[in-house]
Amino acid sequence: MNMIEAINDALDIMLARDPDVVVLGEDVGYFGGVFRATAGLQEKHGKTRVFDTPITECGIIGVAVGMGAYGMRPVPEIQFADYIYPALDQLVSEAARLRYRSAGDFIAPMTVRSPFGGGIFGGQTHSQSPEGIFTHCSGLKTVIPATPYDAKGLLIAAIEDNDPVIFFEPKRIYNGPFSGYYDRPVEPWAKHDGSVVPEGYYRIELGKAKIVRPGSDVTILCYGTMVHVVQAVVADAGIDAEIVDLRTLMPLDVATIEESVKRTGRCLIVHEATRTSGFGAELAATVQERCFYHLEAPVERVTGFDTPYPHSLEWAYFPGPVRIATALEKIMRV
Amino acid sequence: MPDAHIRKTDNLPQLSLHIPEPRFRPGDAPDFSDIAVPAVGALSRPAESATPAAMRDHAYGLVRVLEFDGSASGPWNPRLSPDRLRAMLRYMMLVRAFDDRMFRAQRQGKTSFYMKSTGEEAVSVAATMALARDDMCFPSYRQQGILITRDYPLIDMMNQIYSNRGDPLKGRQLPIMYSAKDYGFFSVSGNLATQYPQAVGWAMASAAKGDSRIAAVWCGEGSTAEGDFHSAMTFAAVYNAPVILNVVNNQWAISSFSGFAGGERTTFAARAVGYGIASLRVDGNDPLAVYAATQWASDRARTDNGPTLIEHFTYRAEGHSTSDDPSAYRAREEYAAWPFGDPVLRLKQHLIALGEWDEGRYAAQATELADLVKASQKEAEKNGILGHGLHQPLASMFEDVFEQLPPHLVEQREQMLAEQTRKFGPKGRQCQ
């Protein structure tokens, strides 16, 4: 399966398993979603389970909070993460705090799916990576898969979770694991182990990172599309790097990070999002606090630049192979 | 080409920016004689299945039942039994007594904050009485009358206001932001109008599940300017959601008069017309009109005829909150000049006109309710008042952020507990 098919499969399974699961969003119903993630679901499960909404993100999330308060388990879609901002008040002030402020009287068991990330010539409003806004907000969980296998297992776990989950889908790797070498053809998922997706129900526990490549020289912390870019760079660079796919940013698997960095003594953090106050800063601080006496070199971050996401200069902006390789060389030189 | 496309402006009038201004400021003598008081019976009572388009007059008129002489008439008269009327009066008087006592408790330093609903008791009490007990209410912060009408324990309301040991919300919420799921009262948020789409979503869920319960939501006229109001109206119309959308137009949003919410040129009920939602504009100080409108909207929603917006035309008699001094921005005598009177006194007058009540019973009940509130307050204060030490276990601060405590919160909890002695002395939670 590719990642779209895996997500579609997870939704299909959860719609069948739990009558309280409901999928809503712009174009998700009859049409099946602009990325086809919900294709066929309305026809199979009915219009009151999978339906189109007006174009109002604050309405979509606000309505989902109300459906959750009733006892349903909504899975709203925000068409692009770049368009999640109108819903921020409902997410940050309401969904994230409802359990806390009502002392468990009301909960918001929803999973907000949204395609995110760049590398597709999406320009300013089809490329953003706003995960840092959500990890900063207590009460929300943030999950980002990097393979079809993980996407299905994590999405099922997110839907079953009784806390609100922001589920960002790296749209660059919907159809294949992008290496970051934009001049090379993208391989289809079929050639990647992560595309082997079991039939039926399975779940991957939230809050657990995955070591996708064990190594001893340096720990690279990454998630989403960057997992594949980092893998390609490491393969070319001949460095025995340990690559950690975080998968869940909140709650963060600190134990896996700490264990890895203490073993390698070096740490590189890679994400597409802009640098300043990005999630990488949290990771760097965590590593510094917990692994200070084990560090052989300063913790490095390769991230998007602190500019809006450009259209024509995309490959100068994208934290691709050259920038990652340069940072690795710098870390290993120390 | 010369500059033919550039408009010559020297012969055009200058534009001017309109900044709304209330008619009366401190020191002015208010005169509301130009506010239309439509006759009781001026508006028909259409079938609950009427199309929104047929309700256009009801968005601009005013549903009224009670004459100012205390008689009730017209097609909207709900013809409640004297017992129901007396119950309604009692709840409204209880809300007022509760507000008075808690306002004073704040002034005495027993809590940090309070908000009264004086003058608006009908909007919550009469509406709640017209709903089913298990309909879900999504209130703003000025509908304490819902909880009181559903017999929620006064002591628990006070426990919440005091953030004490008995606080059902464990001291996490600002006073008056109650939550009581078992009483059909959704958790109050500080963020205005967010409950509007949430109520619509709850109603959609009820409909999707084939339930028979409906939702009701309240916001002030000021909050209708929020984007969430528009989203909710759109969703409610699109999905024909079984929801009652109450707009409490009390003329004031803190210091801003309703003109800043767009009230100068139209009614708030008229907003519904553009969305294709049935609307009723009612005299919010007429408890029977509020009851009748809610009953109509409730029947409409329950029979799958869709949502109704009700504008309750009323007046915020007191300051916005204990942190507000209305004499800084509005004329002192406005409430006395308000043409629709006081909802409690009007219902009392009606009962007396029916021969079902008298001034002596009213005075006795006022005393009885004041005593009840006072006794409840005494009980609640046994659980502590704000400022007298820490009433919740410190570790409870970290609970309910998530269903289960994630590792980073476990760590932060340990850190805080380690600070406990240095911060609060060797006894830890002193003054408990």
Residues B83 and B205 in one domain: yes
How close is the nearest chain A Cα to the Cα of B361, in Å? Answer: 39
| pLDDT of residue B429 exceeding 80 | no
pLDDT (tens digit per residue) in A165-179: 999 999 999 999 999
* pLDDT greater than 80 at residue A115: yes
User: Is B274 part of a structural domain of the chain?
Assistant: yes
A-chain CB neighbours of B209 within 8 Å are: 70, 72
Among this protein's residues, is A294 annotated catalytic? no
Measured CA to CA, the distance from residue B64 to residue A7 in angstroms comes to 55
Do B320 and B409 belong to one domain?
no
Asked if B96 and B178 sit in the same domain, the reply is: yes
Identified catalytic residue from A45, A126, A228, A271: A126
User: Could you tell me if B60 and B87 lie in one domain?
Assistant: yes
Q: Write out the two tokens for B215.
A: 């939702």
Looking at the domain assignment, is residue B128 inside a domain?
A: yes
Nearest Cα to Cα of residue A65 among B279, B215, B213: B215
Q: Are residues B248 and B294 in the same domain?
A: yes
Q: Which residues of B touch A93 (CB under 8 A)?
A: 189-191, 194
The shortest CB-CB distance from B408 to any of A64, A70, A252 is to A252
Interface of B with A in 178-237 (CB under 8 A): 179-181, 186-187, 189-191, 194, 196-206, 208-209, 215, 227-228, 230-232, 234-235
Distance of alpha carbon B254 from alpha carbon B248, whole angstroms: 14
Q: What is the pLDDT of residue A29?
A: 98
Segments forming the whole domain that contains residue B272: 52-324+333-381
Query: Does B27 reside within a domain?
Result: no
Q: Are residues B376 and B422 in the same domain?
A: no
In a domain, B45, yes or no: no
Q: Is residue B240 in a domain?
A: yes
Hey, which bits of chain A come out as E strands?
Answer: 21-25, 50-52, 73-77, 111-116, 141-143, 165-170, 210-213, 218-222, 241-245, 248-250, 267-274, 300-304
CB-based contact (8 Å) between B137 and chain A?
no
A59 touches chain B (CB under 8 A): yes
B224 is a domain residue: yes
Q: Decide the pairing of beta strands B256-257 and B252-253.
A: antiparallel
Whether pLDDT at B1 is above 60: no
To the nearest whole angstrom, how far is the Cα of B232 from the nearest Cα of chain A?
6
From A49, A56, A139, residue closest to B231, measured CB to CB: A56
The predicted model gives A205-209 an average pLDDT of 98
Give pLDDT, residue B278: 98
Which residues of chain A from 277 to 316 reach within 8 Å of chain B, CB to CB?
none
Check whether residue B368 and residue B411 sit in a common domain: no
Length of chain A: 334
Q: Sign of dihedral through CA atoms A254, A258, A261, A263?
A: negative
Task: Assess whether B272 and B189 both reside in one domain.
Answer: yes
Who's near A323: CB < 8 A, 6+ residues apart? A302
Mean pLDDT rounded to a whole number for chain B: 95
Specify whether B256 is located in the same domain as B308.
yes
DSSP state of A265: S
pLDDT, mean of residues A136-163: 98
Task: Indicate the range of A130-144, B10-24, B155-169, B294-308 predicted with least confidence.
Answer: B10-24
Query: Residue B162 is part of a domain; what is its CATH number?
Result: 3.40.50.970
Nearest to B208 among A48, A56, A207 (CB): A48
Rounded Cα–Cα distance for residues B59 and B356 (Å): 34
Mean pLDDT over A151-164 rounds to: 98
pLDDT at A25: 98
Q: Which of A62, A106, A207 sits opposite B197 (nearest CB)?
A: A62
Query: Who among A67, A98, A102 is closest to B201 (CB)?
Result: A67
Half-sphere exposure of A169 (CA within 13 A, CB side): 31
Task: Provide the number of structural domains found in chain B.
Answer: 2
pLDDT value at residue A302? 98
In the structure encoding, which two tokens stand for residue B279, read together?
A: 């609307």
Asked if B422 and B337 sit in the same domain, the reply is no
Q: Which residue of B has its CA nearest to A21?
A: B205
Are B341 and B423 members of one domain? no
- pLDDT at residue B432, as a whole number: 40
What's residue A136's pLDDT?
A: 98
Q: Is A47 on the interface with B (CB under 8 A)?
A: no
User: ipTM surpassing 0.90, yes or no?
Assistant: yes
Assigned domain for B14 exists: no
CA-wise closest residue to A163 among A248, A222, A57, A237: A248
pLDDT given for residue B10 in this prediction: 76
Q: Per-residue confidence at B5, pLDDT binned at 50, 70, 90?
A: low
- Secondary structure (3-state) at A119: coil
Q: Domains in chain A and their CATH numbers?
A: 3-173 (3.40.50.970), 210-333 (3.40.50.920)
| Boundary (domain end) residue, out of B341, B356, B381 | B381
The 10 Å Cβ neighbour count of residue B316 is 25
Q: Are B362 and B350 spatial neighbours (Cβ–Cβ below 8 Å)?
A: no
Q: What is the share, in percent, of chain A residues with pLDDT greater than 70?
A: 100
pLDDT of residue B422: 83
Question: Mean pLDDT over residues B129-147, rounded?
Answer: 98
pLDDT at A188 over 70: yes
Asked if the structure places residue B355 within a domain, the reply is yes
A163 CB-near residues (< 8 Å, 6+ apart): A99, A107, A108, A109, A139, A140, A141, B402, B403
Give the chain B residue whose CA is nearest to the CA of A49: B208
Which of chain B's residues have a Cβ under 8 Å away from the Cβ of A100? 172, 400-401
User: Has residue A187 got a pLDDT over 50?
Assistant: yes
CA distance A179 to chain B (A): 33
Question: Do the chains contact at B202 and A66, CB–CB below 8 Å?
Answer: yes
Q: Do B344 and B420 share a domain, yes or no?
A: no
Distance CA A2, CA A194 (A): 9
pLDDT by residue (tens digit) across A218-264?
Answer: 999 999 999 999 999 999 999 999 999 999 999 999 999 999 999 99
Q: What is the pLDDT of residue B431?
A: 43
The answer, yes or no, to whether residue B386 has pLDDT greater than 60, is yes
Q: Which DSSP symbol is given to A293?
A: G
**Cβ of B170 under 8 Å from any chain A Cβ?**
yes
With a CB cutoff of 8 Å and minimum separation 6, the contacts of A23 are A11, A15, A38, A41, A49, A50, A51, A74, A75, A76, A77
